[in-house]
Amino acid sequence: MASFKIEGGHKLSGSITPQGAKNEALQVVCAVLLTPKKVVIDNIPDILDVNKLIFILGELGVKIEKLSPNSYCFQADEINLEYLESAEFRRDGSSLRGSIMIVGPLLARFGKGYIPRPGGDKIGRRRLDTHFEGFIRLGAKFRHNREESFYGVEAVELYGTEMLLDEASVTGTANILMASVLATGTTTIYNAACEPYIQQLCKMLNSMGAIISGVGSNLLIVEGVKELNGCRHRVLPDMIEIGSWIGVAVMTQSELTIKDVSWKDLGQIPNVFRKLGIQLERKGDDIYIPAQESYEIQNYIDGSVLTVADAPWPGFTPDLLSIVLVIATQAKGTVLIHQKMFESRLFFVDKLIDMGAKVILCDPHRATVIGHDHKSQLKATKMTSPDIRAGISLLIAALSAKGTSIINNIEQIDRGYENIEARLKSIGAKIERIKD
């Protein structure tokens, strides 16, 4: 186990290039299982969750060549399906939520896919029903071993069908999409997720020879093909990390440039930060954040308190709500944070309250934040990271706090952020990794 020791209260400066998107990488890396041909993927982030998935693919028999620190060549021409029913897979797969997305491609190409009950963080329930209901609609038979918490689907052949998803699940849409590209006939997926991650997966699959239309909408139409070819694909910059760097700049009252952000894929993110009073300037494909002594939360036109809530894309991503909450602690004004999609993501506010923030936790989904307007600095404390996004939010709070903070369980942060302490040091942060 390791911890971060952070000396807060220092101004930062310089530029940062965001890593590749974790959520996209987990999907497109699974897609390599759909073809025996070589697939090259660039801009893969070097983080625990993605590395774990690449390890699982290697154990499954995928030939993996690391071309550079963030580029890999995959070839899934000799797959060992026996590994799926092994104790090793049960151990490896259960520690990673993203491992669920190997089921769709395996089912499509080999007629069967198994998965142990996925693990991950403590942000609340993430149902798998959407995934398996989609596979069943395509003609697969479902197997569930309750004692061993093991799920499986099998099919001689998959057939295109019409389906209406019960929720716009990103991983569910990705999984069903990958299963349906090799199915016989046409599949329509309504209430599909349409996040940039899904659009990127569609773009990759189409470049491999799939026929998917409606990309970017909530109605995807997939015409099944017999086989897919190889391709080269580049992962988008991580919009969650971009939001995190905005949080770092604002809370430390620093001037920062975030490079190559792919503005067109940021959706509501710049608008939401601007509603909090934060100045963001677009410079080419970069975000420039000037040093801001104060920022004021906007009210609605009728004078009522601003609500920032998450919603399926093109709404605001739930992954950035914890960052927004931390930023609001030093804003001028009041905001209601409404976390609709997960029930345990706001529990980290207890630590912010310990640090001196004015936050009222209304219920598991809502918190009211009354900003200090930088009149009162947060104070350092010792805390534990419960999940990736809360972890980075506490890290941002610690960077702005007076004194030295300790954050334990930083493996949760490592799951989603590449080499975070070295990158923070490069812009002037006082942070070090210590072994427990």
SS (H, E, C) the chain: CEEEEEECCCCCEEEECCCECHHHHHHHHHHHHHCCCEEEEECCCCCHHHHHHHHHHHHCCCEEEEEECCEEEEECCCCCHHHHHCHHHHHHHHCCHHHHHHHHHHHHHHCEEEEECCCCCCCCCCCCHHHHHHHHHCCCEEEEECCCCEEEEECCCCECCEEECCCCCHHHHHHHHHHHCCCECEEEEECCCCCHHHHHHHHHHHHCCCEEECCCCCEEEEECCCCCCCEEEECCECHHHHHHHHHHHHHCCCEEEECCCCHHHCCCHHHHHHHCCCCCEEECCEEEECCCCCCECCCCCCCCCEEEECCCCCCCCHHHHHHHHHHHCCCECEEEEECCCCCCCCCCHHHHHHCCCEEEEEECCEEEEECCCCCCCCECCEEECCCHHHHHHHHHHHHHCECEEEEECCHHHHCCCCCHHHHHHHCCCEEEEEEC
Q: Which of 234, 262, 283 is the last residue of a domain?
A: 234
Query: How confident is the model at residue 388, as a pLDDT?
Result: 87
pLDDT at 274 > cutoff 70: yes
Nearest by Cα to 323 from 427, 380, 402, 249 = 249
12-47 residue pLDDT tens: 999 999 999 999 999 999 999 999 999 999 999 999
Q: Share the mean pLDDT of the chain.
A: 93
Q: Which pLDDT band, with edges at 50, 70 and 90, does 235 fall under? A: very high
Q: Which of 199, 234, 269 is the last residue of a domain?
A: 234
pLDDT at 156 > cutoff 50: yes
Query: How confident is the model at residue 120, as a pLDDT?
Result: 43
Average of per-residue pLDDT across 281-290: 97
Q: Which pLDDT band, with edges at 50, 70 and 90, does 386 fall under? A: confident
Query: How confident is the model at residue 151, as a pLDDT?
Result: 82
215-226 residue pLDDT tens: 999 999 999 999
Instruction: Return the higher-pLDDT residue of 288 and 119.
Output: 288
Annotated catalytic residue, options 49, 92, 121, 238:
121
Do 219 and 258 belong to one domain? no
Q: Please state which of the ranges 146-150, 223-227, 268-272 shows the lowest mean pLDDT.
A: 146-150
Do 216 and 286 belong to one domain? no
Do 49 and 79 belong to one domain? yes
- pTM, 2 dp: 0.92
Nearest by Cα to 37 from 6, 11, 69, 76 = 76
68-82 residue pLDDT tens: 999 999 999 999 999
Do 14 and 58 belong to one domain? no
pLDDT at 148 > cutoff 70: no
Do 215 and 265 belong to one domain? no
The total number of structural domains in the chain stands at 2
pLDDT at 121 > cutoff 60: no
With contact defined as beta carbons under 8 Å apart, do 384 and 359 qualify? no
pLDDT at 125 > cutoff 60: no
CATH of the domain at 308: 3.65.10.10
Average of per-residue pLDDT across 307-333: 96
Average of per-residue pLDDT across 405-430: 94
Question: What percent of the chain shows pLDDT beyond 70?
Answer: 96
Structural domain for 169, as ranges: 22-234
pLDDT at 96 > cutoff 60: yes
pLDDT at 414 > cutoff 70: yes
Do 206 and 92 belong to one domain? yes
Average of per-residue pLDDT across 313-341: 95
Q: Which of 191, 217, 234 is the last residue of a domain?
A: 234
pLDDT at 149 > cutoff 90: no
Q: Which pLDDT band, with edges at 50, 70 and 90, does 394 fall under? A: very high
Query: How confident is the model at residue 265, as a pLDDT?
Result: 96
Query: How confident is the model at residue 282, as a pLDDT?
Result: 97
Query: How confident is the model at residue 123, as a pLDDT?
Result: 34
121 assigned to active site = yes
Q: Which residues pair with 231 in a beta bridge?
A: 39
Do 42 and 137 belong to one domain? yes
Do 386 and 340 belong to one domain? yes
With contact defined as beta carbons under 8 Å apart, do 386 and 347 qualify? yes
Query: How confident is the model at residue 122, as a pLDDT?
Result: 39
Do 182 and 279 belong to one domain? no
pLDDT at 247 > cutoff 80: yes
Query: How confident is the model at residue 118, as a pLDDT?
Result: 59
Q: Is the peptide bond before 314 cis (omega within 30 degrees of 0)?
A: yes
